[in-house]
Amino acid sequence: MNKNSVGYILGFCVAICLVCAVVVSMSAVGLKDLQDENKRLDRQKKVLVVAGLLEEGAQATPDEISSLFKKRIKPVMVNLKTGQVDEEATKAVADYDQTKASKDPALSEAVEKNLAGVPRVPKHAIVFLVSKTDIGEDGVVSDPSQYILPVEGKGLWSTLYGYVSLARDLNEINGLTFYQHAETPGLGGEVDNPSWKAKWPGRRVYSPDGKIAIKVKKGAAGSVKEDPHQVDGLSGATITSNGVTYLLAFWLGEQGFGPYIKNLKGAGVQLGQVTQ
């Protein structure tokens, strides 16, 4: 066999490609469970951080994360249209993938065109109830200290996925974090900067007349006391900054968790579009 012939070289290349493809495929399949578990732990950690139960950047072990999450966080399934907790659906919350559900016509609904760029919303969404003390064996959190809501929306280059934590009054923001996005490092990617995230606690979602007023402004905002409804813009990342404003307005409004928030606060809250 002439190893310098075109046929031999092509055959050798094809054989190498096939072997590599098989190895990569086997690795992907074999590591899928581990990857899924790592994603689950990362999201649990983000929930704990935004709830203030775990410090930003803390080096907690998987067991510590799972244990703390189980003790202090109660995930429930909310019917977005009615704003009611669905006890039956909550039984399967551990296996629920909200992102996949949003793309499944059987599990989601199309929404009107919106500034957040959200095309569909799931019929059921997860809300994380934060307990002041360790949750008992009955799993009931009768008086949550915080409500953590999943949010998502378009930035400049990607969809940002994250969590916003609301205090008991469902107006004061305790924290905002994102667990997945592909915004430009150093610009829109600064949504991950602890210094910027530290500007959110204490800000208020609703204006005195009940409209959604929280927004990321262009430039610097004042203190929480002076400027309760605005947060510093991300330098050089106007589109990402606007995206954060729009996704919060969407998910805290009527097409998102608005009905749920109304049920908790009573009928006195108006949930309009974000004020400019």
pLDDT digit string (tens) for the chain, length 276 residues: 566 676 676 777 777 877 777 776 666 566 566 667 888 899 999 999 999 999 988 889 999 999 999 999 999 999 999 999 999 999 999 999 999 999 999 999 999 999 999 999 999 999 999 999 999 888 888 889 999 999 999 999 999 999 999 999 999 999 999 999 999 999 999 999 999 999 999 999 999 988 999 999 999 999 999 999 999 999 999 999 999 999 999 999 999 999 999 999 874 555 544 444
Which residue in 128, 126, 134 sits closest to 72, CA to CA? 134
Per-residue pLDDT, 164: 98
| Per-residue CA distances from 61 to 37, 67, 128, 131, 182 (Å) | 13, 10, 21, 21, 26
Residue 141 backbone phi and psi in degrees, to 5:
-120, 95
Q: What span, in angstroms and rounded, lies between the C-alpha atoms of 186 and 193?
A: 9
Which residue in 118, 244, 98 sits closest to 231, CA to CA? 244
Per-residue pLDDT, 19: 76
Residues near 1 by Cβ (< 8 Å), separated by ≥ 6?
8
Per-residue pLDDT, 179: 94
Q: What span, in angstroms and rounded, lies between the C-alpha atoms of 80 and 184?
A: 32
Per-residue pLDDT, 276: 42
Give the number of residues written for the chain.
276
The beta strand positions in the chain, using DSSP E, are: 73-79, 84-85, 108-110, 120-122, 124-130, 146-154, 159-167, 173-180, 215-216, 230-231
Per-residue pLDDT, 274: 46
Instruction: Kindly provide the b/e burial profile for residues 146-175, where b requires at least 16 CB atoms within 10 angstroms of the residue's own CB.
Output: bbbbbbbbbbbebbbbbbbbbbeebbbbbb
Per-residue pLDDT, 17: 79
